[in-house]
Amino acid sequence: MRTKTFKGGVHPPESKNLSKDKKIERISPPPELTVPLSQHTGAPCRPLVKKKDKVEEGQKIGDHDAFISCPVHSPVSGEIISIDKFPHPTLGEAEALLIKWDGGDRKNWDSEDVDLSSLSPEDIRKKVREAGIAGMGGAAFPTHVKISPPPEKKIDTVILNGCECEPYLTADHRIMLERHEDCLFGLKAIMRATGAKRGYIGIEDNKKDAISLIRYSTEAENSIEVVPLRTKYPQGGEKMLIKAILGREVPSGGLPLDVGVVVSNVGTAVAVAEAIKKAKPLIERVVTVTGSGVSNPSNLLVPIGTPIRYILDLCGIRENARAIIAGGPMMGISQYTLDAPVIKGTSGILVLTEEEIIQDKEKPCIRCARCVDHCPMGLLPTTLAKLVKAEKWEMLGEFNIMDCIECGCCSYVCPSKIPIVQLIKWGKIEYRKITSRG
Ligand code: SF4
Ligand code: SF4
């Protein structure tokens, strides 16, 4: 099989065997769920309900007028217990609605045969917005915004990201195997909404079963092609995918739409299909629960707002478990409490053991340039780290700090164990402050 790729990147151990053959299981909701009002990039929602209100499954419970925002919905039928600050898996703490499930039957979201040609691009965008869909690969950018390119940006291609290049995670792999028809429907819907004439599904070559299955189901499709990609982290980064599949370079500071492309995750495509065929909002998602600290690694369909604690009780947690990460080991975020809930962008819950998290002490930089060789964005991570340590914020722009995709390859390969990506994240915050002041 011929595979394509990009320059740079790393090959961490894949560790996908723990869960890759585990079929997606839909779990029953917990007694109480916390649904954050901010689960996406953009303006946080404002609550549309108040304490003691009764809510239905799928009812919109938060929204905002801003273009870059998307609504949130109740994942269950029940009652609003409170609206307050609660733990959040990426923000630490944020406003959320605490909902008590009434234990009632879950709604049947019946599917209708929909002819996409009967829907205008605007119809599709409206349905996607009303369903509260935000990118499910991690960045959680509102999908209706992504598929509303300004008129001067002509989109010719949509790429579905089926790489799942983060070690351990297998949710997207299972989605491609078990929901391939909805993946394709979602891709076609996004192509129609953006006017793109070509669609690609990029899949790493460690998922040969998904490549064969989706190739088979797209045999009759002239405008859609499956592209096997070399297994390498971060192959699923938008800019890496575009380079590998189309040979196009997204310019520094630019977006995929600057080169005529929209990239979407396979899970997001399934959510788009459900929004159109079932009028179902994004109220549950597939989460890989895995790691040496989990007794029964699984791929679970989890209601949004379910606390991590409830999921780990279902899968079992080993005695030597020490670190809980929302997401994968490269870009995931360590959790300080198991009360944080699953949100729209939570692709995995990774539990690592004591032995796996022992960290060597940071040593001085030996100028080996490994971080430079492996940076997929062609940056100078060692220089950026030094500038941040010296608090030379104004110089960070000269070294394109904002192009860093925070993939962590530089930290991963650094023999001196310098926390380069953490330094760069800090540098970005400070750089944004000085540039926003003008
Ligand atoms: S500098 Fe940024 S983009 Fe480059 S390897 Fe480090 S984290 Fe990745
Ligand atoms: S990999 Fe680490 S030690 Fe080598 S140049 Fe980069 S920062 Fe320095």
pTM above 0.85, yes or no: yes
pLDDT at residue 56 in the model: 97
pLDDT at residue 437 in the model: 65
Whether pLDDT at 268 is above 70: yes
Mean pLDDT of 61-81: 97
**Centroid of ligand 1 to alpha carbon of 166 (angstroms):** 15
Three-state DSSP class for residue 424: helix
**Centroid of ligand 1 to alpha carbon of 420 (angstroms):** 8
Residue nearest (by alpha carbon) to ligand 1 atom 1: 381
User: Which residue ranges make up each domain of the chain?
Assistant: 116-278, 370-436
pLDDT band at 3 (very low <50, low <70, confident <90, very high): confident
378, two tokens: 């062609």
Using most ligand atoms within 8 A of CB, pick from 377, 425, 426 the residue to mutate for ligand 1: 377
Tell how strand 46-47 and strand 24-26 pair up: unpaired
Whether pLDDT at 85 is above 60: yes
- Residue of 416, 378, 372 lying closest to 400 (CA atoms): 378
**Centroid of ligand 2 to alpha carbon of 394 (angstroms):** 22
Mean pLDDT of 229-237: 95
Q: Model confidence over 170-214: pLDDT tens digits?
A: 999 999 999 999 999 999 999 999 999 999 999 999 999 999 999
Mean pLDDT of 377-387: 97
Mean pLDDT of 412-422: 96
- Write the DSSP symbol of residue 131: T
Question: What homologous superfamily does CATH list for 116-278?
Answer: NADH-ubiquinone oxidoreductase 51kDa subunit (3.40.50.11540)
Mean pLDDT of 331-350: 96
Q: Residue 402 and residue 380: Cα distance in Å, rounded?
A: 12
More reliable by pLDDT, 284 or 138: 284
**Centroid of ligand 1 to alpha carbon of 425 (angstroms):** 10
Of all ligands present, the nearest one to the C-alpha of 400 is 1
pLDDT at residue 2 in the model: 64
Cβ(72) to ligand 2 under 6 A? no
Three-state DSSP class for residue 55: strand
Whether pLDDT at 4 is above 90: no
pLDDT band at 355 (very low <50, low <70, confident <90, very high): confident
